[in-house]
Amino acid sequence: MREREDGRESSPCTICGGSGWVLATVEGRKAATACACREGAIRSERLAAAQIPERYRACNFENFNELHASLAHAKNRALEFVDAYPAVEAGLLLLGPSGRGKTHLACATLSELVRTKGAAGLYIDFSDLLMKIQTSFRPDADASKESILHPYSDVELLVLDALGASKPHPWVLDVLYSLLNTRYNRRRITIVTSNFEDEPDRDAGERDRLEDRVGARIRSRLSEMCLQIAMRGDDYRRTVVQGQIRTRF
């Protein structure tokens, strides 16, 4: 029996009986070919392995809210990126204030590439990554810095969400630069989101630039690694989500 995405068992494939292989006789010799269900199972496993947060697993391009012209532009660029993948030279750098859909768009892009292109990807929140790095330097750490960073430095496609949300110590920035530089040298594609821009959005309450949060070296490397896309408009959480919450009570 196969396991469905909701954890319950489903009936085995009627073509291969659940083995994942189809046996056929070709010119008097038996041969096995992969069943279509096997490819689907592999992609489902890759999607689960991408570690997209539960809140964003249902995010796609269809349910992305285009409340501003820049958001429609960002969605179109992400769709172009998906269509061209893997023949792309750079990732995406999605910049803008909170609530503009940056994480939604990044996770939708990752999901779509796993489903339609069979990409192997991984999501990580910047603050969680910093915590992992800092923990690796403790005397009683169970894992080394290298073992913690390896999955993120080597994976085919990485989504690094909320870059700059926490302001790390200089030695942590050195580790982060090494991670990004390794990905750059290995031609790995990275999608990055951040609330911080090159010019602070004072209307949104931001005062620091992206460079202030991550340093000049990392900001420069991102310019080579990613296509920068600005995301503007109203805060979706305040203008839409709050209204939806009020109607429930």
The DSSP symbol for 209 reads -
Q: Which two tokens stand for residue 169?
A: 């110590």
The CATH number corresponding to 51-247 among 2.60.120.650, 3.40.50.720, 3.40.50.300, 3.40.50.10320 equals 3.40.50.300
pLDDT digits (tens, 9 = 90+) for 13-35: 877 777 766 777 777 776 767 66
Q: Name the band, by pLDDT with cuts 50, 70 and 90, for residue 10.
A: low
pTM: 0.80
pLDDT digits (tens, 9 = 90+) for 51-66: 999 999 999 999 999 8
Q: Name the band, by pLDDT with cuts 50, 70 and 90, for residue 78.
A: very high
H-run or E-run covering 10:
strand 9-10
Instruction: Pick 203 or 121 by higher pLDDT.
Output: 121
Give Cα 79 distance to the centre of its chain. 14
Q: What whole-number distance in Å separates Cα of residue 2 and Cα of residue 18?
A: 7
CA Rg, the chain, in Å?
Answer: 21
Locate the domains of the chain by residue range. 2-40, 51-247
Q: Distance of CA 88 to CAs 78, 81, 91, 112, 146, Å?
A: 12, 7, 8, 15, 28
